[in-house]
Chains A and B, each alone.
Chain A
Amino acid sequence: MAPVAPRSGEAVFASVERVNAELFTLTYGAIVRQLLTDLEEVEEVNKQLDQMGYNIGIRLIDEFLAKSNVSRCVDFKETAEVIAKVGLKMFLGVTASVTNWDADGSSCSLILEDNPLVDFVELPDTCQGLYYCNILNGVIRGALEMVSMKTEVNWVRDMLRGDDTYELRVKLLKQVPEEYPYKDDE
């Protein structure tokens, strides 16, 4: 069978089933609120959000690969483009732009103009250290780990903290070669 061409983010997003954006945003808000009430320490909440995102990411990658038909990315540059244009579009309905590549191509910034998680959100003074969208870090990190890339993802700019846009810095730490659970010669 001829290989199926990869679908654009728009095409995939148009074909998946959808839910109301507000339900999604409000549910995420309820989650953050629960975490703040339980954990009280903003750093703990950040860590927990990242962990939850990681759990989501390791499962999300399967669905992403199944629905989008992207072929194996040649290098990290392509990976970043695919995340920004196809991945984010497919799940969140927004795209990001990829900028600020560093010299050896291992680290870049994803700029989100539109962030669906933060509609209607303002951070009160008591939560100033909170990275509200930290779940995204975990999702990207988890998803990339399942395709053999160990990464570090951090927020550089966050509108809820007063910056002018959302900027995520994604840094490739190393490519882990795939390990098979069985030996070839057995």
Chain B
Amino acid sequence: MIGVGKIKQYSNVLEKPLSRESRSLSAFAFLFSEMVQYNQTQVDNIAELERRLEDAGYSVGARVLELLCNREKGNRRETRLLGILSFVHSTVWKVLFGKVADSLEKGTEHEDEYMISEKELLVNRFISIPKDMGAFNCGAFVAGIVRGVLDNSGFPAVVTAHFVPMEGQQRPRTTILIKFAEEVLRREARLG
């Protein structure tokens, strides 16, 4: 029975204080690489692989949202589109990756698209994609985290990660493309 017999620890996992420590980047990189390798054995094609990484990220995002709402924002809930986007771009990125995201842009072609860009995603730092995997991006994990945060805040969206080649840079930039659902835009328009 969980909780019985613990002398030092807290009887309820929710009462344990939130730690502010850090772990080594290489430990995380090893863990992430094993996750990708394991998922590769479970799928037949790249789309499936991206979906699985995204699903894994989704569960991280949902939990990160709860953690951050409690710790950083004093349990306030974002109701506006720009509010939640800047929360993701600044607070979430700062906590998870140690810095705010490089940029947040509104899509020019479609009203419902926004893009968060990063020169080099933390998760992709030690990953190279073989040529035969084409456009596969392990940033799908981060896209999943963003989708988890947005979805659980009441802003359902489709989130994907793309490589955008930049002149003058050897490695392409990564863009997280967020496409909000219809209802979000309608609600936003109603709120004025």
Bin chain B's interface residue count: 35 or more
> Which B residues are in CB contact (< 8 Å) with A26?
59-60, 63-64
Bin chain A's interface residue count: 35 or more
Q: Is A42 an interface residue (CB 8 A)?
A: no
Residue pair A20, B2 in contact (C-beta under 8 Å):
no
With A24-B28, A56-B34, A162-B2 as known contacts, state yes or no: A30 contacts B23, CB within 8 Å.
no
Residue pair A19, B25 in contact (C-beta under 8 Å):
yes
Residue pair B35, A164 in contact (C-beta under 8 Å):
no
Residue of B20, B22, B32 near A27 (CB, 8 A) is B32
Residue pair B30, A24 in contact (C-beta under 8 Å):
no
Q: Is B98 an interface residue (CB 8 A)?
A: yes
Residue pair B96, A162 in contact (C-beta under 8 Å):
no
B interface with A by C-beta (< 8 Å): 1-9, 13, 16, 19-28, 30-32, 34-35, 37-39, 42, 52, 55-57, 59-60, 63-64, 67, 95-98, 122
A interface with B by C-beta (< 8 Å): 13, 16-24, 26-31, 33-35, 38, 48, 52, 55-56, 59-60, 63, 90-93, 113, 116, 119-123, 135, 159-165
Q: List 26 A-B contacts (CB under 8 A).
A: A16-B25, A17-B24, A18-B98, A22-B96, A24-B31, A26-B60, A26-B64, A27-B31, A31-B34, A31-B38, A55-B34, A55-B37, A56-B30, A91-B23, A91-B24, A91-B26, A93-B22, A116-B21, A120-B13, A123-B2, A159-B9, A161-B2, A162-B6, A164-B7, A164-B8, A164-B9
